[in-house]
Amino acid sequence: MGWKGLRVWLLLCCLAPLSAMAVTSPCGREGVDVAECLEILVGGWETDVIDLASISPGLHAQLKQEMDALLLSLQTLRNQLNDDADIASVDDAITRTIALQEQVLQQYHLRWQKTALGHGLFYGSDLEQWQAMVQLESRQALSAIANTYHRWQARIQDDTQGLSRYRNMIGALLVLVIAIASFIGLHRLTRRSTSGLFHLHNRIVERANKRRWVKALARLISGTAPLAPWILLWIILSGFAALFSGSNAALLLWWVPLAQLYIIYGLLCLLGEWLLLRISQGAGVFLNTDQNKQISLHAKERARWLVWPWVLLYIIDHWIGPSLLYRAVELFAWVVAWFVIGTLLKLRHQDYLANLKRLLPETLDPLAERLLSERSFIFAATALLPLQLLLFLREYLDQLLSDFDWYRSLSARWFRIRTKSLVETEDDEVALDEICEQYERWFASSDNADDTLPAIDTGLMPAIRKPFDAWMNERTDENVLLITGEKGMGKSAALSRLHKQLNKDMPEVHIERISVPPKTTARADVYAMIGDMLGIDMQDGPAALARSDESREPTVIMLDAAQNLFLSEVGHLDGWRALLDLTNTRVENLFWVIAINNQSWAYLCNVFGREYQMRQVVRVKRWSQNEIRSLILSRHHLSGYKLQYEDILLATRGPEAGNLRNAEQRYFSLLWDSCRGVPMAALELWLSSIRTDGSRVLVGLPQAPSSSALEKQGSKLLFVYAAIATHENLTSGEINIVTNQQENVVRYALKAALDSEFIERGDDGRYRITPLWYHTVISYLTRKNMLHE
């Protein structure tokens, strides 16, 4: 039976007595089986209530009204019957109808739980259904109040139990008082967690040393310290609620959510105060004590306005449940929250606008000013709050990740992209002056250590001293140490400093240091070179070295530029083989320190095998940004010149505009990203990005050379450049040998490279990659898979 048909049948059979009470119900007429009639009637209702579970809330409300009319009709019918069997059938129908009423009411609340306010009011609903919903919820609210009142009145007036009738109520009140007292005590106790977290933060920072991720963790701890008491209180309260979840103490079950709302209120006070302080800080405004107190009071007042609508929602949820009233108050709560946030932010109106301008392009400044005018501020400020939070998140991540080199490199590249067009315009308009020679001499990219220049501790010297000290103390068989790294990483300077350290700390140790002449590729030449250093005849090679070991005092041989011991061609590897034979000779009084270019070492490892040469290898790591910064600024300080950054490095919006510290940080991020941590390249990039003006040094953007000059070269020419990179330095004749290229091809390649200035020819006639171009050339050849590392 359809629902409309059921309504018609119900009006005919049961609702007619409502308008004419004297008329006898059809189920009560003579000759009609009342039990059968009621079974058909109530059974049809039961079927249709199940089938109509997904209708709109308005239709559920009307259905509930009809169920009330049915129940009234059945009660009238019962009064008209005399037969006991018929009366029992009517009683059974009344019981089933009451159950149907409860089921329809549950379906009504379930539909509102899943339905938004607009959908529930306007989707398939009319004015009659709205009135039905209002009447239903009004009756339910009044019924809930009346039931509660009668229940407590009956309990109080029940004299049969004596004073024991107050036991449950007193027990509930006692538990509630204990819970409130415990809550207050826990609240005071959890406040100590803030100082504990700050103390933990200080301990972590003290022990962090140079471990950047530990410092980042410490920042996270200090940032969440003010929230810790409230979070701990929430966790404890949740556990308390779970412990008493089966309790019959109604007051206690009502109190726990209200206590949770108080915790939310405390968190909202902190968040509101933090938001206002962060807005002022972002705008570069200093707040005095009175202004800080004003912000704190303002945040607490607005937090109370935010909480009260949700308290009302909680009461409605427990009083009526999901309903039209609940959805309407929920909408009201969100509207209140919107305007309360607007009034909260209006306290720092100008600061809020200044922060927004920092995030948006300058072309949108007029629009931002119109949106955040005095009249429209409380309407638009809340909508624009996500942009403010995005700005705060970006700044927080910038502080959190600023210690990590990869993030500095990423920030530098993004800044370079943003300023690319401006840099190109300035390059066309401004010609850099020549750098004063008096200033330039402080930045000479010499590999040898100079006592007049500050030494930057990168951890290389301790790494070299560790195996040497172990050999001196125990005279182990590990008497060979190889140092490998990119060109310009300071290998030669490290050997020079090691030489001076050992002369000072261990005068009994005899030290011989030499830079291998290019290209010493014959075995006899290598033996003669080592023999001259040790003052012995080395014609017998390793045997002569072993014979003279017993009478030799502890000796250290330092071989710099060991890449000069080979050429990558058959018959030109004997020099390196001779060195391997000597280093593999078992001696007790000789320690080898060998420095070699990383590209050369990679090639030799591919030829001879990495594990069959030297076991102790120190790989020189690229310098960090702080180390590059110390290198440049320490030398600049010695020059006596004043430092000034150009406008492009100072051009930021907001309170950081014109900040020299931020400009300096931005410049060295760009410099480090361009030089890739190679100090020699950093010195060259520094000189290429500055100009002197009297006693001032004007600093612009560092610009690493583009690989476009290499992309124009053919593959045959690239083999020439790869050979130079592998050997670090070659003559044109040696290039012919290792590349097997025609002489005219080699000459053309060298001429093209000299014209582009990424290859230079020294006074000794050898060709090398210029320090400024080193990373660009190596990166391009590596992408072309033409190098061994």
More confident residue, 599 or 177: 599
Report pLDDT for 7.
Answer: 35
Retrieve residue 156's tokens: 């109080």
Q: What are phi and psi of 643, to 5 degrees?
A: -100, 135
648 found inside a domain = no
Range of the structural domain that residue 393 is part of = 265-403
Say yes or no to pLDDT of 466 above 50.
Answer: yes
Query: Could you count the other beta carbons within 10 Å of the beta carbon of residue 559?
Result: 25
Q: Are residues 113 and 91 in the same domain?
A: yes
Each residue of 591-624: pLDDT tens digit? Answer: 999 999 999 999 999 888 876 678 899 999 999 8
Alpha carbons within 13 A on the beta-carbon side of 663: 20
Among 569, 599, 619, identify where a domain stops: 619
Say yes or no to pLDDT of 506 above 80.
Answer: yes
Confidence category of residue 1, pLDDT binned at 50, 70, 90: very low
Q: Which one-letter DSSP state was computed for residue 116?
A: -
Q: Are residues 135 and 177 in the same domain?
A: no
180 found inside a domain = yes
One-letter amino acid for residue 42 of the chain: V
Each residue of 21-74: pLDDT tens digit? Answer: 333 344 544 455 777 787 777 777 777 777 666 777 777 777 788 878 888 888
Q: Which of 8-12, 297-301, 316-320, 339-343 has the lowest mean pLDDT?
A: 8-12
Is the Cβ–Cβ distance between 608 and 580 less than 8 Å? yes
624 found inside a domain = no
More confident residue, 4 or 749: 749
Each residue of 539-598: pLDDT tens digit? Answer: 888 999 999 988 899 999 999 999 999 998 888 899 999 999 999 999 989 999 999 999
688 found inside a domain = no
Q: Are residues 212 and 321 in the same domain?
A: no
CATH of the domain at 467: 3.40.50.300
* Residue 662 to residue 665: CA distance in whole angstroms: 5
Q: Are residues 127 and 10 in the same domain?
A: yes
Q: Are residues 367 and 300 in the same domain?
A: yes
153 found inside a domain = yes
Q: Are residues 231 and 311 in the same domain?
A: no
Q: Are residues 348 and 478 in the same domain?
A: no
State how many domains the chain has: 5
Alpha carbons within 13 A on the beta-carbon side of 214: 12
638 found inside a domain = no
Q: Are residues 186 and 290 in the same domain?
A: no
Q: Are residues 107 and 173 in the same domain?
A: no
Q: Is 717 left (phi over 0), alpha (psi -120 to 50) or beta?
A: alpha
Q: Is 757 left (phi over 0), alpha (psi -120 to 50) or beta?
A: left
**492 alpha-carbon distance from chain centroid:** 40
Q: Are residues 285 and 222 in the same domain?
A: no
Among 243, 275, 310, identify where a domain stops: 243
Among 179, 212, 243, identify where a domain stops: 243
* Residue 319 to residue 322: CA distance in whole angstroms: 10
Type and span of the H or E element at 482: strand 480-485
**Residue 370: which of 355, 382, 381, 386 has the closest Cα?**
381
Q: Is 284 left (phi over 0), alpha (psi -120 to 50) or beta?
A: left
Confidence category of residue 495, pLDDT binned at 50, 70, 90: very high
Q: What percentage of the chain exceeds 90 in pLDDT?
A: 25
* Residue 50 to residue 267: CA distance in whole angstroms: 45
Q: Are residues 188 and 124 in the same domain?
A: no
CATH of the domain at 760: 1.10.10.10
Q: Are residues 568 and 505 in the same domain?
A: yes
3-state secondary structure of 596: strand
428 found inside a domain = no
Say yes or no to pLDDT of 330 above 50.
Answer: yes
Evaluate if pTM is beyond 0.85. Answer: no
789 found inside a domain = no
